[in-house]
Amino acid sequence: MKIHRVNPCKRWSDITVFNGIATFTEVADTDPKADIKGQVAQIFEQAATSLALIDSDKSRVLAVTIYLTDFANVDGFNEVWDSWFPENCAPSRACVKAELIDPDLLVEMTFTVAAGEKYQS
């Protein structure tokens, strides 16, 4: 089966798809100095763009790994999370505390998604 790589470069691909399952990672690109709610909103906006590139949408997110730099931000994170996913479509998730490369970043998220039909093989 073919591995589809969206916007590959030497260090990473924006999205990698194999057998209909896509993975990609997002951090706040527009304003990395925003508070947790602002960074999560940016990530979800970017994720929506990534999902569209693979003919998918937020109802097809299977799992998310969340890397928070401070668990004090969990409530703000969850507020934006709860408002983004459609009712009864929340994916599986894991949330871990991590140090990120950029000290301004408060959160990084890795998505696992069911891609559209043209990515099924």
Q: What is the pLDDT of residue 121?
A: 73
CA distance 104 to 71: 15
**Buried residues in 100-119 as b, exposed as e (16+ CB within 10 A):** eeeeebbbbbebebbbbeeb
Domains of the chain, earliest start first: 3-116 (3.30.1330.40)
pLDDT in tens, 43-52: 999 999 999 9
CA distance 1 to 84: 33
Is residue 108 very low, low, confident or very high in pLDDT (cuts 50, 70, 90)?
A: very high
pTM of structure: 0.95
Query: How high is the mean pLDDT of the chain?
Result: 96
The confidence score (pLDDT) of residue 57 equals 97
pLDDT band at 1 (very low <50, low <70, confident <90, very high): confident
Residue 19 tokens, joined: 């057998």
How much is the pLDDT for 85?
Answer: 95
- Condensed to tens digits (0 to 9), the pLDDT of residues 42-77 reads 999 999 999 999 999 999 999 999 999 999 999 999
